[in-house]
Amino acid sequence: MIVILKPNTPKSEIDALIDKITGFGVQVSPVIGTELSILGLVGDTSKIDPTQIEANRNVDKVLHVAEPFKKANKMFHPMPTVVDVNGVKVGGKQLAVIAGPCSVETEAQIVGVAKDVKAAGANMLRGGAFKPRTSPYAFQGLKYEGLELLKEAREATGLPIVTEIMSPYDIDRFVADVDVIQVGARNMQNFDLLRLLGQTRKPILLKRGLSATIEEWLMAAEYIMAGGNGQIILCERGIRTFETYTRNTLDLSAIVAVKNLSHLPIIVDPSHATGKWWMVEPLARAAVAVGADGLIIEVHNDPAHALCDGNQSIKPAVFADVMKQIKGIADVVGREVR
């Protein structure tokens, strides 16, 4: 349920109305603007008679929200959320471009790639320290050593680092060492992990699950937001369909749908979506064209010998070309690329 207030309602009367509504046993999320103020009611609103709320002289109207996600809902938060990552804005006019290898392998590799992608225009560095793999015999990442190498790359370049968390037991370490905590597709519905991340105030990159609907995806974001952490970046990384030519099927319509339903920023991962390096550039252009707030792209200095996902990784020189290509698209749609 959403309560829309009349313009110029005094703060004292807004506070009094909030106190009255919380007496019904629901949580109130106020969005106070210069002209429009909204109160979002989260919880069991079935016991609330809307006419009682509308009787208040400061209330313009009361609306019911059909979607189960509330805090992630655009109706609760009409203005787009902009997530600030050490000065890098995700959801603003400038596109966020996150680039780097699937896995951290050596100091020379991660620092070298970090310098290359920064020179090409990336504003954040990705790299896997803990790797969820289908096979238990595949390379699982350098783990804590990988985190330390990512920190060295950040020190060398100034790029904020983005890496995936696997276990709730590592949250304190990630909060201390990482700039953006990534929740991978396989953990999108790890609700215990999501609840604990909601207690942090770190930006969270939430990837869409392999077979998740858009509503399920937004409900996963809701788990984090319910704990008080609204710093969420959604990531479309392709979904599992009957098609086997590509690793996954990139759902570009999800960007448009999320923009209509939610205020949260959304970026696209064309690398995992296709599993083919030569598809990354055209799909990166397409993602920017339909309104994505950024990209996350796998870049490796030697894809042929990468320990993980070399077939979907592009070389630094190709990444530089991608940046030039998306700049032209960004100019057309009113966005900027560094």
Q: What is the pLDDT of residue 263?
A: 97
pLDDT of 238: 97
Q: What is the pLDDT of residues 186-241, one digit of tens each?
A: 999 999 999 999 999 999 999 999 999 999 999 999 999 999 999 999 999 999 99
**CATH number for 142:** 3.20.20.70
Residues 128 and 207 reside in one and the same domain: yes
Is residue 74 one of the residues assigned to a domain?
no
- Say yes or no: 261 and 144 in one domain: yes
Q: Is residue 302 part of a domain?
A: yes
- Is residue 54 located within the same domain as residue 133? no
170 and 233, same domain (yes or no): yes
pLDDT at position 108: 96
264: confidence class by pLDDT, cuts 50, 70, 90: very high
Last residue in a domain, options 63, 91, 116: 63
> What pLDDT digit, counting tens, does each position of 265-292 carry?
999 999 999 999 999 999 999 999 999 9
> Binning pLDDT at 50, 70 and 90, where does residue 138 land?
confident
Residues 115 and 21 in one domain: no
| Residue 103 CB burial class (10 angstroms; 0-12, 13-18, ≥19) | buried
R_g of the chain, CA atoms, integer Å:
21
Domain enclosing residue 39, as ranges: 2-63
- State the alpha helices, DSSP H only, in the chain: 11-22, 50-54, 107-120, 144-157, 171-177, 191-198, 214-226, 253-261, 270-274, 280-289, 316-332
pLDDT tens for residues 239-249? Answer: 999 999 999 99
Return d(Cα 211, Cα 284) in angstroms, integer. 22
pLDDT above 70: percentage of residues in the chain:
99
In degrees and rounded to multiples of 5, residue 129 shows phi and psi of -100, -40
In a domain, 40, yes or no: yes
CA 226 to chain centroid: 16
Cα→Cα distances 313→60, 103, 129, 302, 308, Å: 53, 11, 17, 9, 9
124 plus 41 within the same structural domain: no
pLDDT bracket for residue 77 (50, 70, 90): confident
- Residues 263 and 167 occupy one common structural domain: yes
Q: How many domains does the chain have?
A: 2
- Alpha carbon 113 to chain centroid distance? 23
Residues 118 and 47 in one domain: no
- Give a yes or no: residue 34 inside a domain: yes
**Model confidence pLDDT, tens digit, residues 23-73:** 888 888 888 877 778 898 888 887 788 888 999 999 998 988 878 888 999
Indicate if 7 and 92 belong to the same structural domain.
no
Q: Is residue 68 part of a domain?
A: no
